[in-house]
Structure 1
Amino acid sequence: MPEGIIGWLLIGLVAGALGKLIMPGRDPGGIIVTILFGIMGALLAFYLTPLLGIDVRHSSWQSYAAATAGAVILLIFYRIVMVRRI
């Protein structure tokens, strides 16, 4: 179970790797950007899930699922923005 921000940062590292497995391909920035998106996705899940009425803070698998979903959403958004930019 994640305890505070540090726990969610560690989950974010794993979520970034899982996000890359779910969405393979070449991303500008490589694995470092993917891991950072995992961390941002985890923090997004940490703050947004209670607002949605979903309690993922006390369950490990739900925490990883929410963080991975956040990472995948951010990766999709990043790819859309970078394709339009190029």
Structure 2
Amino acid sequence: MGIIIWIVIGLIAGAVAHRVLDSRGGFLGSLVVGLIGALVGGKIAELLDLNVTGGFIDQLVLATVGAILSLFVWRKIRS
């Protein structure tokens, strides 16, 4: 998957995570949260032995779940 697709997935996942958790974040914040979320979501899928085909929607769902989880944990650590 190209770097542009990763950036798009990261931005969408980060924006959704910020919206779900009612958090603030600009362009760069959403991108970072989304990319970290993609890594976290991929690791979770690997640990749970989920069969992910690697399509855009699959990657977006994994990245969004990972972004929400990582943003939630980050907020708990900071408070």
TM-score under structure 1 length normalisation: 0.70
**Residue matched to 1:17:** 15
Contact 1:8 1:46 in 2 (8 A): no
RMSD of aligned Cα (Å): 2.1
Runs of 4+ in structure 1 off by over 4 angstroms are none
Long gaps (5+) in structure 2: none
Output the amino acid matched with 1:62. D
**1:66-85 correspondence to structure 2 within 5 Å:** 66-83=62-79
* Alignment partner of 1:41 is 2:17: no
% identity of equivalent residues: 31
Equivalent pairs counted in the alignment come to 77
Q: For residues 62 and 25 of structure 1, do their structure 2 counterparts lie closer, same or farther at Cα, with a shift above 3 Å needed?
A: same
CA distance in 1: counterparts of 2:59 and 2:43, whole angstroms: 12
